[in-house]
Amino acid sequence: MKTIKKVFEEFLKDQQDRLSKKTYAEYVDAMFLFEQYLNDYGHQGLKLKEQEYFEQEFNKGREFNESFETDKINSFHIKGFFADFLIHKVLHGKQIVKSTFRVIRKYLKWAKGKGYLPNENYKELLETTEKLKDEILQTIKFWDLLQDYVYLNQPLKCLKIVNGYFWITKIEPGKLWLEDYIEGKKVGPVVVNKKITSECKLGWVVSLELCKTAKGWRILEVWNVYPL
């Protein structure tokens, strides 16, 4: 059995001679992050019998990537890696995200060509990757705009402070309405600027610290933005 770990190592070895040192370093970083994600969360996308097998392997000291072949990587893992894990790890670094998308696309095509990835799996994973790319890059732009706005528009006095994860449920020029992701409590309108509201989408989740002032809700701090 050629495990995920061994296949990733083979992929990087195949790329090393044809790439510059700088580009190869980007490949190593991207695959390291993907491998780390799979070891930490890959088991969550398994079926029941596969879960039981993984528990046996884990108890023997083997991680996810040492226990399964590459056909166990599915769209659940691709979405979790790009839309959640990568956002936490690189804090919306646009260039890192773009290079990671490029490397993962290259890996998928390479794995298909080598016979490590069945054609059906390849199509599913590539389609998921392509769909996520533009959406995540847009959330990065939105996050950058929020960061700049919050830095320049700190409220002087707060009557109430709340923080957490919030759905964006309504958008008007310069105003956002939010709903607490866990408790369902609604907050709004939250005042921002028109550029910010033109760059966001209903259904995105933002992690924020909010301040209620005498003139309404303002943002104190923004941490992350997650796509649909």
Residues 91-119 pLDDT 10s? 556 788 889 999 999 999 999 999 998 88
Residue in the structure block whose two tokens are 């080598």:
114
Mean pLDDT score, 130-141: 87
Residue 91 has what pLDDT?
A: 57
- 137, pLDDT greater than 70: yes
Amino acid 90: pLDDT: 62
> Structure pTM?
0.80
Is the pLDDT higher at 46 or at 27? Answer: 27
- CATH architecture of structural domain 154-226: Beta Barrel (2.40)
Across the chain, mean pLDDT equals 90
At residue 15, the pLDDT reads 94
Average pLDDT over residues 67-85: 90
> What pLDDT sits at residue 94?
73
- pLDDT of 84 above 60: yes
For the chain, give every domain's residue range.
4-147, 154-226
